[in-house]
């Protein structure tokens, strides 16, 4: 059996190694357009700042090492230009010599990945304007920085790559501005959770121009003007386009393979395309979202690796199935970690799901052990069924392990209230006896059992202030004095039992505190006395962070960026 693989990196290289482990006799040929067949794509931004000092460390395997260990014929700087389905050949061009030839196959695997979106805008070919997708892209950016010592950069786009590049350019002392059409960074997060990401960026000097559309680029004074719609241009010494990626499916399209959303390659759960003996994996393919079952394009290294293994199994006569992607991701951002899995609240409601959420602010480990820090968690679930839909966490240490527990729970089909039953490792330096994941489960169980009802951030401005309801803040007088909702009266939770007579019977009571814990205790006290009580999800700390962020975004809209 002869297998030809188009593209290396995550999916193609994984498939090549797996095929060899399953079939020692197979002839395996990999054509890779770039000069690197297996590299740490996610590590590229860290080479720019020198966190990864040796460019060679980005290369996981070389053609020589792959041949030595796996007897795989890896040909870099070879571009496959056409698929000839009827002849079962591919047309190939050697980019170093210009030679063109055809290569036959019994099985063909496409792993072309995704290409950076390059909008058709004026000035997009300027020399100091870059994209970041390959090792060569990284070397070009690093060489430009080493040669020209730029002092400022504008990043167009607000996803993973843009934020990681922003951090690394700031580490080099550069002035950095991010321009993003939506009014938030990081679409996997709801806008309320993105507020904590925005705060970290601003804390470290990154300027945000959110809600602005880039209309073009012009060279001026040795740098680049980034032209914005309805706002003054932003000037910088260099620009990085990181506005997203699109499936690199030109080969598949020209060969007549079925394409799906965003031009992605349609595959079944065996990673088979619409053509016999042709498979496809990675960022170029359409998959099923694990939570919704709907079609999705999810460009992440983990799914690509799994798909490569599954395609290899099936090429070698097995019957492996891909069960879908759920978008689990994590991002280091200066001092914090931001992570998400499954659906956020916005996506869940867009999918027509009746979603609810709990928001909590637990410590990363036991409060009495030094060094604990607060994380903010948002867990989304379906109201009627309690099906766990997704989660987002922003904080410091411990974020990654909690998101992995929640991702596993989603994959295993656990109910949201079942999180309370998970037996997770505990020692004071690492967690609490009631782990944050358990706490989310306790909160959801209380909602499901009717022990507590919630009101939300979106209700703050619409709550009646006409005396028809009681508005109660259960924090200390000092906390209340530092900021509170209009119309709320302050009775600390520890004084509530003695001051129940101050509350008018028969009126619903809307309660808040700093994090949601004291107000929950207050609701239980009030419920025992016959009051209809609602607890504020997330607490005043959550509201304050989100509202401050919204105000900064609106203030910045007029001038083009944060001051």
Catalytic amino acids?
42
**What angle do the packed helices 160-171 and 191-203 form, to 10 degrees?**
20
Reported in sequence order, the residue ranges of 25-137 that DSSP labels E, i.e. its strands, are 27-32, 38-39, 59-61, 73-76, 78-84, 89-94, 100-104, 107-110, 114-116, 129-131
CA distance from start to end of the chain: 62
Element (H, E) at 93: strand 89-94
Q: What is the distance, to the nearest Å, from the Cα of residue 278 to the centroid of all Cα atoms in its chain?
A: 30
Question: CA–CA separation, 244 vs 249, rounded Å?
Answer: 15
Instruction: Concatenate the DSSP letters of all residues of 158-183 into one string.
Output: -SHHHHHHHHHHHHTT-EEEEEESSS
Task: Name the pairing type of β-strands 336-342 and 388-395.
Answer: antiparallel
Question: CA–CA separation, 422 vs 434, rounded Å?
Answer: 10
Question: CA–CA separation, 384 vs 370, rounded Å?
Answer: 41
Question: CA–CA separation, 8 vs 15, rounded Å?
Answer: 9
Of 55, 199, 215, nearest to 138 by C-alpha is 55
Which residues lie below 8 Å from residue 515, measured CB to CB, with a gap of 6+? 360, 361, 538, 539, 541, 542
Of 539, 496, 534, nearest to 516 by C-alpha is 539
Tokens describing residue 42: 């996610």
Question: CA–CA separation, 26 vs 22, rounded Å?
Answer: 9
> How long, in residues, is the chain?
563
| 3-state per-residue secondary structure call for 67-82 | HHHHCCEEEECEEEEE
- Scan for tokens 């790559």, then name that residue: 161
Evaluate the CA torsion angle 11, 16, 22, 23 in order and state its sign. positive
């Amino acid at each position: 059996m002869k297998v030809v693989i188009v593209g290396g990196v995550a999916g193609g290289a994984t498939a090549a190694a797996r095929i060899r482990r399953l079939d020692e006799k197979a002839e395996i040929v990999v054509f890779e357009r770039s000069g690197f067949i297996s590299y740490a794509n996610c590590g590229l931004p860290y080479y720019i700042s020198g966190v990864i000092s040796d460019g060679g460390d980005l290369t996981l395997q070389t053609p020589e090492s792959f041949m030595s260990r796996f007897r795989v014929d890896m040909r870099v700087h070879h571009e496959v230009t056409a698929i000839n389905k009827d002849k079962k050949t591919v047309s190939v061009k050697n980019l170093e010599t210009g030679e063109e030839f055809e290569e036959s196959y019994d099985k063909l695997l496409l792993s072309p990945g995704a290409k950076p979106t390059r909008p058709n805008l004026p000035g997009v070919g300027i020399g100091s304007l870059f994209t970041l997708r390959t090792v060569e892209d990284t070397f070009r950016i690093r060489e430009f920085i080493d040669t020209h010592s730029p002092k400022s950069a504008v990043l167009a786009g607000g996803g993973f790559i843009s934020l990681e590049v922003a951090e690394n350019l700031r580490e080099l002392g550069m002035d950095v501005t991010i321009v993003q059409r939506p009014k938030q960074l990081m679409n996997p997060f709801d806008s309320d959770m993105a507020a904590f990401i925005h705060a970290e960026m601003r804390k470290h000097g990154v300027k945000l121009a959110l809600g602005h559309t880039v209309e073009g680029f012009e060279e001026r004074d040795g740098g680049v003007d980034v032209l914005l719609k309805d706002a003054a241009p932003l000037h910088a010494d260099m620009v990085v386009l990181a506005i997203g990626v699109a499936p690199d499916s030109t080969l598949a399209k020209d060969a007549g393979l079925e394409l799906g959303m965003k031009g992605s390659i349609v595959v079944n759960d065996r990673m088979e395309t619409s053509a016999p003996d042709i498979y496809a994996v990675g960022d170029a393919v359409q998959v099923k979202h694990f939570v919704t079952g709907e079609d999705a394009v999810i460009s992440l290294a983990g799914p690509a690796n799994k798909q490569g293994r599954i395609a290899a199994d099936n090429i070698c006569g097995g019957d492996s199935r891909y069960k879908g992607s759920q978008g689990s991701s994590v991002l280091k951002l200066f001092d914090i970690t931001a992570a998400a899995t499954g659906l956020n609240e916005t996506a869940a409601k867009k999918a027509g799901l009746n979603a609810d959420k709990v928001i909590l602010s637990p410590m990363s480990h036991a409060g009495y052990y030094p060094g604990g820090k607060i994380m903010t968690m948002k867990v989304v679930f379906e109201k009627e069924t309690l099906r766990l839909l997704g989660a987002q966490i922003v904080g410091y240490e411990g974020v990654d392990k909690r998101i992995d527990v929640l991702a596993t729970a989603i994959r295993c089909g656990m109910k949201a209230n079942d999180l309370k039953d998970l037996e997770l490792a505990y020692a004071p330096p690492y967690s609490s006896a009631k782990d944050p994941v358990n706490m989310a489960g306790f909160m959801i169980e209380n909602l499901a059992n009717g022990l507590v009802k919630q009101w939300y951030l979106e209700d703050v401005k619409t709550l009646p202030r006409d005396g028809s309801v009681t508005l109660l803040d259960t924090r200390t007088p000092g906390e209340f004095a530092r900021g509170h909702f209009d119309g709320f009266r302050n009775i600390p939770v520890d004084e509530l039992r003695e001051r129940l007579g101050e509350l008018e019977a028969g009126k619903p009571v809307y309660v808040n505190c700093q994090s949601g814990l004291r107000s929950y205790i207050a609701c239980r006290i009030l419920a025992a006395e016959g009051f209809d009580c609602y607890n504020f999800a997330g607490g005043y700390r959550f509201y304050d962070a989100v509202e401050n962020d919204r105000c900064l975004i609106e203030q910045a809209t007029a001038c083009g960026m944060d001051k």
